[in-house]
Structure 1
Amino acid sequence: MAFDFRKSRLFRALRNAMLAFDSWIDSSLYNAGAGVGGLWRDFSGFMERFHVRGATRVAVELACEALTLGVFGGLLMVALAQPAIRLTGASDWLKKTDLAVTFQDRYGLEVGRRGILHDDAVTLDQYPDYVVQAVLATEDRRFFEHWGVDPIGLARALTVNARNSGVVQGGSTLTQQLAKNLFLSNERTITRKINEAFLSFWLETHLTKKQILQLYLDRAYMGGGAFGIQAAAQFYFGRSVKDVTLAQAAMLAGLFKAPTKFAPHVNLPAARARANDVLNNMVVAGYLRENQIAEARRNPASPVDRGAEATTPDWYLDWAFNEIKALADSGKLGADRVITVRTALDSSVQKQAEATIDTMLRQSGPSYHASQGAAIVLEPLGAVRAMVGGRDYGVSQFNRATDAQRQPGSSFKPYVYLTALTTGKFTPTTTVVDGPICDNNWCPRNYANSYGGSMPMWQALAHSLNTVAARLTQAIGNGDWKRGRASIITTAHRLGVTAPLPDTQSLPLGADEVSVMDQATGYSAFANGGKRIKPYAALEIFNSRGDLIYSHDRDAEQPQQVVEPRFVNELVWMMTQVVEQGTGRRAALEGIKVAGKTGTTNAFKDAWFCGYTGNFVGVVWYGNDSGEPMVKMTGGTLPAMTWHDIMQFAHSGVDLKPLPGLSLEAETAPVVQLTTAEGGQAPRRREQLSKKSAEVLGSIETLMKSTAARRVEVDKPGPNFAGRPGAIMDLR
């Protein structure tokens, strides 16, 4: 008989257990539902007590929505504030820009200042009331009422601007302007404005209103190379800000908006008109009455006539100040913040360079349709003697010598030829072929659209033949164009060029962008026999007590040999032929061996001459900020002529040094009396003694001082510090 599991005791027990479990689930769900229903009834009854209708309900709903938006908005604000918070992370944020630097030229003459004069800065309590009132009435009338950002002032500015269909008033508070000066750049972006707002709130919580106002008045650029209202008062009026008149205070306050536009030494009528607006603002703000400003209206301020002193090497000083800040940030200057720097600047060469570029642009700029120029003169081991960053610093402080990126044209070709020499396949006399050549669809052409056939390599460089530069690139890479260009880029970077140099087909012809300083750095390696240098301004740095705290010869990194001298010597000889027989003839100096290279870019947008002697390296550039083409200006015209005039002056009276691998053809350079194009005398070149003569005079000076010290008691010692990928370039 078969066993029936369903009739077994075990089956009945299991079935009963499952029925019991099912009943438990059903009852639990029922009880839970009943409980939740009861809770809901209780909650509904409770909420009935808070039931609102009509306008009250609308207000409650809006408040709820506002709370929701506020929470999410707060999270968004925290996220947006992160970049600004990171900018304030350093504990010494307030000291990073408080250097007080007095600059001297190489001969010890003071040429300018940068930074804040902490040792004798005028405190806010010493300012006349009308100075502070003039600033506040013009820049931020509600300064003592807002918390860093002023919605009321912003709304008023927007209303005034809309009424006048243009920008008449600015909406930034004084705190926002200080935040920009301390932490940010002048770029016009939404990101900068957001960071500026958060930094303003941060400043308001960490500094008092008095401290914010003092910092703003001390750190704003006021034109003429002056930073801070005290320096501006000294520069424009020859007196401390403590002693300025109401008319002078109004003119100073007007500079904060546009220091170069309203600088009285640049445009006195505009400065006086702006000062009159400031006086009106003081009346509207309630600081003065109409009869109190009448005298200032009748007798407007006039700047002191500084003559030649009004011209300062501002582009050079801006660049040198950045170098000093980098040294301070790296700890090489210790804790000293008030310092004196003896630079490599040669003031006479600087003035000659500025005058030459200005004259060339004034006389020939219109016919060539050229509006800007830049130049750098430095020693082969990196000491920068002169720097011109544009036509007029008062109009534009942008430094085209260090910050502008432009196509170098054929002035880039020496890197190609040097790379070819280092492969061991070529010498200056190696025969190369000037003929058609293509890399896929890229087929470079020569300037004159003609070909010269076979010739020695030096002749191809002298006449700046594009097809030969392309053919050398292919040979450098053993038939691989890309590998050849990579080798050229490596050579340029090894010599000190800092531009990224993207790999484009037309790179060997100078299509990639570089700065004037890049070219000056790279060409210095040619002039010194293959050493990579870092351009510098500071020769010696002294603290406020006159102690030497930094010497370039002692403390800086020295030049490094990066290319074998024999290859550089070959290139140098080839580049002398550019000046003697090729496109750079206008740069030739009488009695002085010159090597160099011209450069002209596509559609004549840029024109260069880069050259050097055994003594100096010089780079000259002409073009337009907008990138507009010039009218057939090649590197062999205005740039070479400018280079000649600057360098002929720079070499007057100096002991000549030979170029690498070449003998000195002339023992001494002739001392010439140069004149400007108008017939006036050019800036006088400071005579420079030979090293031996200087040592003899130094010994005599030491002997005389020691004799005088034994006889005379000194009561008070004096201070101790004495372009486009694939572009076919028109290169010549």
Structure 2
Amino acid sequence: MSGTGKKKPPLVADRRYASKAASGKRPAAKTATTRRTTKSKPTPRKTTRRRRSRSRNPIIRAISGLFRWVFRMIWGVVWRSSAVLLLLVTLTVGYFAATLPDATQLIDGRTRGSVTLLDRNGQVFAWRGDQFGGMITADTVSPHLKNAVIATEDKRFYRHFGISPRGIASAVRINLRAGRGPLSGNGGSTITQQTAKLLCLGVPHDPSSGMTEAEYEADCRRGTLWRKAKEAIYALAMEVRYSKDEILTIYLNRAFLGAGARGFEAASQRYFGESANTVSPTEAAMLAGLLKAPTRYAPTNNLERSRDRAQVVLNLMEEQGYLSTAEAVNARENPAELSAAAAARAGGYFADWVMGSGPDFFTSNTTEDVIIRTTLDQRIQTAAEEALAYIFETKVRDGSEAQAAIVVMSSDGAVRAMVGGRQTRVSGAFNRATQALRQTGSAFKPFVYAAALDLGYSYNDYVDDSPLTINIPGSGAWSPTNYDHKFHGQVTLTDALRQSFNIPAVRVSESVGRENVRKIAADFGIESDLALGPALALGASESTLIEMTGAYAGILNGGSSVTPYGLVELRLQGEQDPLMRQEGGIGERVISENAAAQLIYMMNQVVEAGTGQRAKLPGRPAAGKTGTTQAARDAWFLGFTADYVAGVWMGYDNNTPLTGVTGGGLPAEIWHETMLRVHEGLPAQPLPMITPVPPQPPLSELRTRGNRGRRDRQADGIILDVLNSIFGGRNR
């Protein structure tokens, strides 16, 4: 390639940016060029904006502006409302926090007191009312119980501020999945919220408001959205006012845990006979499990169900690290056992009866904690319950709805056992021993003969068992018959009672006077209205089993009246001096001791050779009387040994006739089984009865004291006439 000879400069690309060191006209030229370029070619941003401006429709611009204005307004309202709401909540929380009392004043919130019932040996056998065992704290309670409650009810208790949004959301999700409403079922409440509910948001029960305690508690448990909101605010106030341990202490002392137990101390004593400060992991799990449903999971209602619930709690304790695997396995393999008193649940009917026999302000409506010592003998109570169960299992057809009741007492009226129905482990149930008024049938006849014996008749006197018709004004002629529809001629009073003949009983009653019979029965303690007609002698009147048993106790003790009693002593908890005391139930004399001794012999013959032979006790003398009402709607056997009196009633609650049952049948067998167990280990004692002599030749009619006196005077006159004829009247 040829050239001019001058060296050409190397080809170098123009610099993109001017050097700072460059000077002269070139940079100026570049600047000018740049400016021209800028003016001639607009930037892409400006072009886009212009195009957007040109393409935007005025309507769209108006709508967009409206939406922006609405959003700004809503946002302004929301944040301002939120600020106001937050301020109100803060002020409300502060107000409640300032008005909350000291935590120790909230420990015992019961509106009524409790009654603890002791047997004759001073052992606890029943509780009534709201039991409060005493204050426990989060520091002193068993660590196992504290951990069980937290693991079960609120595992984040020590980390939240009174409410748990996460817990609420989880509860709502569970409820919706289960097909319930969002607030039905699981509530997601923290322990603090539950405590607020127990405190009823600080509103105590006011009896003058007309709202019962049950209605008050139901109102406190309402689950409405507004109630939940107030509950949350109150919980926040508690978190401000109290420490976590103080809140937990209130909760541990106020929670209801079934069987009338308020607080874990009362529940622990109720179910295990020990303090909540010393319970084991398995006992703690059972107690904590009650919080879900206290009545359903109460171990006294269903021990296996309660144990299953305790297993769930143990699993939670293990998962959350409160128990090691070995401790959890040991607890599962050794489930909690109830105390002897809780397991026995003895004397439920008896406890209800005692509660009704004392003044209301110290029993059912007490505001104090009361201790009542009673006459109950738990060994005898168990004997009666076992005897009843044995007869119904072995002698009564399956599916029978027949009921029975038993009362056992001493001769002074001290009730030692009471069974008010076949379901023995109950409280508040209908008590057939004290509440059922039933016709007594032939069990009433001893009072007819008691009236005659007290007027001077003898157990060996004769009465005519022949057809009898009595005209009853307004009703016409009435002719009693014997159960075998036969007549037996002249029979002694003893034979008449032994075979429970009806006609002789009516003849005796008419002879001595119905008023005398009625008075004797009433004085022995039969307070029910007694029949006015001649059927009085056949037990047409109604009475309760406890009245009849008490009347028979009067016969055993020699003829004095008896008032059945169960309350021996009543005192306030923590005090030694009793407010009430009962020394015994024997009252005034009703019949003479001789009359009572003759009557006991006559009733002994009922058991030895009469209608009550199924009640006979081997090697032990006993006396008693059967009773069967018309159509066999009621069947009775009442009797006694030298040590105890027992009465048995059997029938249907709806008065349906019994099938093939008389007083000498199943009731006598129940009595027999009961008294066999009651007297186990006791030496046999003789009955306080006469020694019988052979009966005199029968008379044609029942003699009365007046007839005997008249005959005696006639005999004396004949003798005097003979003497006068012999000695010429010198004896005058």
Q: Which residue of 2 aligns with 1:413?
A: 445
Give 1:162-241 correspondences, 5 Å limit. Answer: 221=259, 230-236=265-271
Q: 1:306 to 1:97 in 2, by over 3 A?
A: closer
Name 1:473's counterpart in structure 2: 509
Aligned match of 2:522: 493
Aligned counterpart, 1:581? 609
- Of 525, 541, 545 in structure 1, the residue corresponding to residue 554 of structure 2 is 525
| Correspondence for 1:458 among 481, 490, 494 | 494
- Match 1:400 to one of 425, 432, 439: 432
Partner of 1:310: 343
Distance 1:113 1:182 in 2: 29
Q: In the aligned structure 2, how far is the partner of 1:291 from the partner of 1:452?
A: 85
3-state SS, counterpart of residue 408 of structure 2? strand
1:608-647 residue pairs with structure 2 within 5 A? 608-647=636-675
CA gap of 1:414–1:97, structure 2 versus 1, over 3 A, is: farther
Q: Do residues 536 (structure 1) and 565 (structure 2) align?
A: yes
Q: CA RMSD in A?
A: 5.7
Question: Structure 1: which amino acid aligns with 2:343?
Answer: A
- How far the C-alpha of 1:647 sits from its partner, in A, is 2.1
Distance in 2, Cα, partners of 1:195 & 1:235 = 22
Residues 379-402 of structure 1 show CA distances to partners (whole Å, capped at 9, x for unaligned) of 111222222232233356523322
Query: What 5-or-longer segments of structure 1 have no aligned partner?
Result: 1-93, 138-159, 164-172, 184-191, 203-207, 279-289, 478-483, 665-732
Indicate if the aligned counterparts of 1:347 and 1:386 stay in contact, CA closer than 8 A: yes
Aligned to 1:366: 397
Question: Structure 1, residues 325-384: CA drift from partner, whole Å, max 9, x if none?
Answer: 449859xx9x9955463x443333322222111111111121794643222221111222
Decide whether the 8 Å contact of 2:600 with 2:623 is kept in 1. Answer: yes
Answering whether residue 390 of structure 2 is matched by residue 375 of structure 1, we say no
Please give the residue correspondences for 1:641-720 in structure 2 after superposition, counting only pairs within 5 Å. 641-654=669-682, 656-662=684-690
Distance 2:148 2:653 in 1: 38
543-552 or 459-468, which moves further after superposition? 543-552
1:134-153 pair list within 5 angstroms: none
Instruction: Report if the CA contact (8 A) 1:233-1:252 is conserved.
Output: no
Describe the shift of the 1:316–1:347 C-alpha distance in structure 2 as closer, same or farther (beyond 3 A): same
- What is the CA-CA distance between 1:514 and the residue it aligns to? 1.8
Match of 1:510 in 2: 539
Q: 1:339 to 1:408 in 2, by over 3 A?
A: same
Q: Report the CA distance between 1:468 and its aligned residue.
A: 2.7
Structure 2, unpaired ranges of 5+:
1-109, 155-177, 182-196, 221-233, 239-246, 314-318, 693-732
Report the residue type matching 1:470 in the other structure.
Answer: V
What is the aligned counterpart of 1:593 among 621, 629, 633? 621
Q: Which amino acid aligns with 1:357?
A: L
Number of residue pairs aligned between Structure 1 and Structure 2: 507
User: Retained in 1: the 8 A contact 2:565–2:585?
Assistant: no
Instruction: Deviation per CA, 1:136-157: give whole Å up to 9, x if none.
Output: 99xxxxxxxxxxxxxxxxxxxx
The alignment partner of 1:366 has SS state of coil
Q: Does 1:252 align with 2:296?
A: no
One-letter code aligned to 2:642 = G
Q: After superposing the two structures, state which structure 1 stretch, 516-525 or 313-322, moved more.
A: 313-322
Residue 432 of structure 1, aligned match among 437, 461, 464: 464
Per-residue CA distance 1:450-505 (angstroms, 9 max, x = gap)? 3323312221111112233333333343xxxxxx2x54333222111233445466
Distance 1:598 1:406 in 2: 14
Most deviating of 318-327 and 513-522: 318-327
Q: Determine the C-alpha separation between the residues in 2 that align with 1:579 and 1:492.
A: 22
Q: How much has 1:100 moved relative to structure 2?
A: 4.2
TM-score (norm 2): 0.55
Report the identity percentage: 31
Say if 1:612 and 1:100 are closer, same or farther in 2 by CA, change over 3 A. closer
Counterparts of 1:279-358 in structure 2, within 5 Å, are 303-304=336-337, 310-315=343-348, 318-319=351-352, 321-322=354-355, 325-326=358-359, 329=362, 337-339=369-371, 341=373, 343-358=374-389
Q: Which residue of 2 aligns with 1:693?
A: none
Separation of aligned partners in 1, 2:305 and 2:531: 45
Contact kept? 2:607, 2:613, Cα under 8 Å: yes
Task: State the distance in 2 between where 1:527 and 1:359 align.
Answer: 28
Does structure 2 retain, via aligned residues, the 8 Å contact 1:250–1:276? no
- 1:105 is aligned, of 120, 123, 128, to 120
Q: Is the 8 A contact 2:375 2:566 kept in 1?
A: yes
